[in-house]
């Protein structure tokens, strides 16, 4: 992988992992659109997951610190929140383990990714009509968490946005926008860790991690990811999340025309 390819792919990962436009969809179609001559190394994918994980941890550091402190002092509401996070992660974990190969094959089909983008666009347009809820992370029920988790599981399909699907799921169960944002990315942490473990288990050597393109990808994805998180929170607070739906629609049409 060249430095140019590394920069493009890591920039795309950093900004699309958190904006509701599907990072997996972009990483599936960029090699086709730019005609990259070689397959993306597994070490590169793993490093991108590590970078986005760091971005979430840095951005939500106060929430994470509060959770760690609450668990340490055996605070009942905090342990309840941890249980809800685990419940919300279970559906994606099941789908990721048992349907890994079919999902991987979807990355080779740009037209299928295009159709998936229409699904993401539809959900994003729906946010225009959703009002701010009243629930926070402590008051949502286990059923609410399970429903949000199902939305996250659907987002394993390239073209379905994880952040978009989980945010819409959280808003549909009645969460406040800022609480929906925080819960959406708190449940992304174990999801990203799970993806990292699955991919790392296939690595035969660690030597490929210590190359300039792979290390560059980490820095770019981390910095761009932090910026994307700030942008998404602003769009959510200003009720303009639906504008991303127009982008997803345009991208879906483009893919169907090209492929």
Enter the tokens of residue 7. 């920069």
The answer to whether the beta carbons of residues 162 and 52 sit under 8 Å apart is no
Looking at the structure of the chain, the number of domains it has is: 1
Nearest to 213 by CA among 38, 35, 26: 38
Structure-model confidence comparison of residues 33 and 181, the more confident one? 181
Please state the rounded mean pLDDT for residues 200-221: 71
Residue 18's CB is within 10 A of a number of other CB atoms, namely: 29
Nearest Cα residue to 241 out of 132, 106, 134: 132
Sign, Cα dihedral of 59, 30, 4, 235: negative
Task: Provide the pLDDT for residue 68.
Answer: 95
As beta bridge partners, residue 56 has none
Mean pLDDT of 50-56: 91
185-209 pLDDT tens trace: 999 998 888 777 766 666 655 555 6
pLDDT digits (tens, 9 = 90+) for 61-110: 999 999 999 999 999 999 999 999 999 999 998 988 888 778 878 777 88
pTM value is 0.87
* Residue numbers of the domain that contains 253: 3-258
Residue 254 above 80 pLDDT? Answer: yes
pLDDT, position 199:
67
């Amino acid at each position: 992988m060249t430095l140019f390819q590394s920069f493009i792919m890591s920039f795309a990962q950093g900004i699309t992992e958190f904006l509701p436009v599907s990072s997996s969809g972009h990483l599936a179609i960029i090699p086709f659109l730019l005609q990259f001559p070689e397959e993306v190394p597994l070490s590169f994918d793993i490093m991108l997951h590590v970078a986005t994980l760091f971005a979430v941890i840095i951005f939500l550091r106060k929430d994470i610190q509060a959770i760690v402190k609450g668990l340490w002092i055996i605070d009942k509401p905090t342990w309840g929140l941890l249980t809800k996070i685990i419940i919300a992660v279970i559906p994606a974990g099941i789908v990721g383990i048992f349907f890994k190969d079919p999902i991987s094959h979807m990355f080779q089909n740009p037209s299928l990714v295009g159709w998936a983008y229409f699904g993401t666009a539809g959900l994003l347009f729906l946010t225009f009509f959703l009002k701010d809820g009243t629930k926070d992370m402590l008051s949502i029920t286990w059923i609410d968490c399970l429903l949000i988790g199902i939305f996250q599981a659907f987002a394993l399909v390239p073209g379905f946005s994880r952040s978009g699907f989980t945010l819409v799921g959280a808003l549909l169960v009645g969460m406040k926008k800022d609480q929906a944002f925080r819960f959406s990315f708190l449940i992304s942490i174990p999801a990203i860790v799970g993806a990292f473990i699955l991919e790392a288990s296939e690595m035969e050597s660690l030597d490929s991690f210590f190359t300039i393109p792979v290390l560059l990808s980490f820095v770019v994805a981390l910095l761009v990811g932090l910026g994307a998180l700030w942008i998404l929170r602003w769009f959510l607070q200003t009720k303009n999340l639906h504008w991303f739906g127009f982008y997803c629609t345009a991208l879906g049409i483009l893919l169907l025309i090209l492929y």
